[in-house]
Chain A
Amino acid sequence: MEVDRTDGRTPNQRRPVACTPRILHRAHGSASWTQGKPEREYEMVLKKTLQSICLLNVHPNTTTSIVIQVVNDDGALLPCAINAACAALVDAGIPLKHLAVAICCCMAECGHIFLDPSKIEEQKVKAFVCLVFPNSMVSVLPQGSLRSGGELMEHGIITSVTHGMMAVDDYLRCLKLGRAAAAELSDLSRSSLKLKAGNDPSKAAITRLKTFMTANGNIYIYIYHYLSGLPIFKILFFQIYP
């Protein structure tokens, strides 16, 4: 029995990802924002996830402030924010160990698992999982040197946040599916970020205040990275409710 999805996607199909760095320079107008409880939790998850991929000791005594503004929430908000924040960090020139690739898997009542739910689908499912994997590492070292205890580095999860009840085996199935999707997504982001990298050698300058905006469909990200004398890493996450 196949799960019918309203937008005609197959269970394993993600929605298309559009990642465009530096397209907007309009002023950030007035925005009404609420800091309800879900925002605090997302902030903590984002902070711990992004902190683990940034190499902050390359530039010591700097403040890295990441502001994430949600304009439209159509489901899978946390993975979208993580993917967008990663692209923004690359764009800002902050040294990273590897990218973080996030995907959302959900389980319907009938037991079928599918990817990247929309808002309506998210409310109807029994459980969903947000998984973040490191992107696959291309290495010049001989094959097998990136394995840890028999498992590839990119199969380890950085972050997992679940919502709703499921059997342990269902969670492991979600992991498998998520891993496959993350591998595909990581190749996509690597190629798209390479294209946009361009020839801008001034990215590493940290003495000036820099603002970058990345639009990933429904999320805007600003990153401020400046010499402040204090090593601070903070995330501010807010949603605009129309």
Chain B
Amino acid sequence: MGGSANGATDLSSEMEVDAFRRLFPLRFHERHLVESVRPDARPLGKSRETSLALGAVGSADGSALAKIGCTTMLAAIKMEVMTPATEAPDEGCVAIDFHMPAICSPIVRPGRPAEAAPVVSKQLSDTILSSGMIDLKQLSLVSGKAAWMAYLDIYCLDADGALFDAALLAAAAAFSHLQIPVVSLNDDGRIVVVSKQNEGEKLKNKPVNEEKRKLKLRSIPFALTCILHKNYILADPTAEEESIMETLITIVLDSSCQLVSLYKPGGPAFAFESVVQDCIALSRQRVRELQTILNEAISDMEVD
């Protein structure tokens, strides 16, 4: 049939378009790029619809659900008391882990960890710790004796591209939502978490910290992943786009537009300086969008 090459323009034969998309994915996408649009009708520099829901996990001390398009990340923080290290007696600690359970994508098989998981996990750790978002001194309880250890776990529930962006957003939102539990020193000299049942009674021991408090976050980092293909820059790729056009560049900026990370792990396309500048400009715009979304989600929580 002569329709296979022109299938994209022939509206009356829906099957042709799907077949063309499967058989010639690169050509299908390039036909859209020539018109400066993508298969889901987005302009090249536009990200997908992003939403945040704080407090998604009731039993965690801080949690958030972030969605960028179909990519869904659930972040939850659990706080535990530990003895601080001798080199840093008045600092707490943050442990970050990223999981990709088999539910998130047909590529991930149960029992066999995804290749991307440890890489995204390390990237998240590095980014969050080097951005200075969390002042570890705020996690201290009793200098030299007790400090908070925050376990941040991020679960990917649906992997549809731009995993790092969504994970970082979920992590930042979870820390914004985090409420540090109240603790008191019991008779043995150990720190105990004051549970809800004790709140009504008169406390035998004075609490170490008076009330549940939130962490004061310094500049929050936000990420934008772009795909480089020939002369095009596509912001916020879907999993399909990532698998066809393999060159990715992830830029993390904080709210004062300092560069926290520029990550381009190889790939067939080169990044020239002009391309780097364009990607940074797109990232700056995205940081403003994400900052607004985060602030709205926080104020929605506070109204409740």
A: residues with CB less than 8 A from B are 37-38, 40-41, 44-45, 47-52, 127, 129, 132, 134, 148-151, 153, 155-168, 170-172, 175
Across the interface, A163 reaches (CB within 8 A) one of B118, B126, B249, B265, namely: B126
- Chain A residues, CB < 8 A from B246: 48
CB-CB under 8 A for A158 and B122, given A148-B272, A165-B260, A172-B273:
no
Chain B positions within 8 Å of A49 at CB level: 265-266
Closest residue of chain B to A100 (Cβ to Cβ) is B266
- Give Cα A162–Cα B130 distance, bound, in whole angstroms: 11
Beta-carbon contact of A40 and B119 below 8 Å = yes
Cβ contact within 8 Å between A151 and B265: no
- Which of B118, B131, B257, B275 sits near A41, CB closer than 8 Å? B118
Q: List 17 A-B contacts (CB under 8 A).
A: A38-B122, A40-B122, A41-B119, A41-B123, A50-B266, A127-B130, A149-B272, A155-B272, A157-B272, A158-B270, A159-B266, A164-B130, A165-B258, A165-B260, A166-B258, A167-B258, A168-B280
Of all chain A residues, the one with the shortest Cβ separation from B118 is A40
Point out the residues of chain B lying under 8 angstroms from A156, CB to CB: 270-272, 275
B145 to chain A: closest CB distance in Å? Answer: 28
B266 touches A37 (CB 8 A): no
- From A149, A162, A164, B274 is in contact (CB under 8 Å) with A149
Is A51's CB under 8 angstroms from B266's CB?
A: yes
Top 5 nearest A-B pairs (CB, nearest first) are: A156-B270, A48-B266, A49-B266, A40-B118, A45-B265
Asked if residues A160 and B262 are in contact (CB atoms below 8 Å), the reply is yes
Q: Mark B42-83, 1 if CB is under 8 A from A, else 0.
A: 000000000000000000000000000000000000000000
Residues of B within 8 A of A (CB): 115, 118-119, 121-123, 125-126, 130-132, 231, 246, 249, 254, 257-268, 270-276, 280
Are A48 and B131 in contact, with the CB atoms below 8 A?
A: no
User: Inside 8 A of B131's CB, which chain A residues have their CB?
Assistant: 165
Query: Using Cβ atoms and an 8 Å threshold, which residues of chain B touch A47?
Result: 266
Flag if B266 contacts A165 (CB, 8 Å): no
Given A49-B266, A157-B270, 16 extra CB contacts under 8 A: A37-B118, A37-B125, A41-B119, A41-B122, A48-B266, A49-B265, A51-B266, A52-B267, A134-B270, A149-B231, A151-B272, A155-B273, A160-B249, A161-B265, A162-B261, A167-B259
Please give, as numbers and ranges, the residues of chain A lying within 8 Å of B267 by CB-CB distance: 48, 52, 158
When the two chains form their complex, are residues B263 and A162 in contact, meaning their CB atoms are under 8 A apart?
A: yes
A45, closest chain B residue (CB): B265
Taking a contact as CB atoms under 8 Å apart, the answer to whether A175 and B258 are in contact is: no
Q: Pick the most buried of B122, B257, B274: most chain A CB atoms within 10 A of its CB.
A: B122
Expressed in whole angstroms, the minimum distance between the Cβ of B155 and any Cβ of chain A is 18
Of B231, B270, B276, which is within 8 A of A153 by CB? B270
Q: Which A residues touch B276, using CB under 8 A?
A: 157, 172, 175
**Cross-chain contact of A160 among B115, B126, B260, B263 (Cβ < 8 A):** B263
**Residue contact A165 to B259, C-beta cutoff 8 Å:** yes
A134 to B271, CA, bound (A): 11
Per a CB cutoff under 8 Å, which of B125, B132, B259, B275 touches A166?
A: B259
Distance A40 CA – B272 CA, assembled complex (angstroms): 27
If A37-B118, A151-B274 touch, whether A158 touches B259 (CB-CB below 8 Å) is no
Question: How far, in whole Å, are A13 and B275 apart by their CA atoms in the complex?
Answer: 28
B130→A163 contact, CB < 8 A: yes
